[in-house]
Amino acid sequence: MNNSASNLYLYERKGGYLPRVAAVHDLCGYGKCSLGVAIPVLSAAGIDVCPVPTSLFSAHTRFPKFYMHDTTPMLDEYLDAWREEGIELDGIYSGFLGSAEQVDAILRLYREYPRALRIVDPVMGDGGAKYPTYTDEMCEAMKGLVDGADLLTPNLTEASILTGIPYEGQDVDEAYVRRVMDALFGMGAKAVVIKGVVHEGEKIIRNYVAVSGGEMEEASGELLPYMLHGTGDLFASGLTAAVYAGESLAASVEFACALVRHAMQITPDQPDYQVRGVSFESVLGDVTALLS
């Protein structure tokens, strides 16, 4: 593998072919996250999105009241039908899972589609805490997706959970980020993006990307004075969109940063935005422009 994120291209776009990507995420009826973000963003980049719903939610977990339906019992038959139809995949992009057993479903996809690109957004928590539906067993199972991941995109909390390196907040130095990245490379990841480094007193949010054996590169942008639900899903989906549009890994990270910032800037125009989450719909033109 090329040891520079600026020179690494994970996917070569050819002609008018639409790459086919399985999006293994949950689906929320209300709120901006997961498949509700991944399907439109990837579609805008000319990707044939094949959803694998890991859970069904009435609303995302930022709301005090939500209903969750775990889809684990149906996944084997769901994927059996894909195999019987002879469906082919160019990528497997996974995010929020509903149970520890669902890691096995993703590993099954890896076995049955060995040439598919593996993009893992290990959605487990933020701010030093796990999400309310994630158990220690689930977090332990998620470590099984690190080995062989072509691209892994944890935030600092998720990186801590995966590696066992203590979480030290968002104000960490590059030595800490490098230590975490090296641990993830040691677990088998091929390329890693660490998201959400913020130094006290600065109005900058920093993300770092590196390929195993290569130097870290930084992609930074303006830190807006509010946080929004769903920005992690938008980042990972924008990153995936750019990768399949044929951008380099480093350029894809820069694009994802800009896409999230643009969406966040217009979101306050919407009612209940603090809870509902990031409004990305009006910036999908940024994604379609990748193909121009």
Q: What is the pTM (predicted TM-score) of this model? A: 0.96
Beta bridge partners of 20: 48
Q: Is 180 left (phi over 0), alpha (psi -120 to 50) or beta?
A: alpha
CATH number of 20-287: 3.40.1190.20
Phi and psi torsions of 14, nearest 5°: -125, 115
Share of the chain above pLDDT 90, in %: 97
Give tens-digit pLDDT for 32-55. 999 999 999 999 999 999 999 999
- pLDDT over 80 (residue 2): no
Confidence of residue 1 (pLDDT cuts 50, 70, 90): very low
Q: Is 89 left (phi over 0), alpha (psi -120 to 50) or beta?
A: beta
Strand 217-222 and strand 204-211: pairing? antiparallel
Confidence of residue 244 (pLDDT cuts 50, 70, 90): very high
Confidence of residue 91 (pLDDT cuts 50, 70, 90): very high
- pLDDT over 90 (residue 178): yes
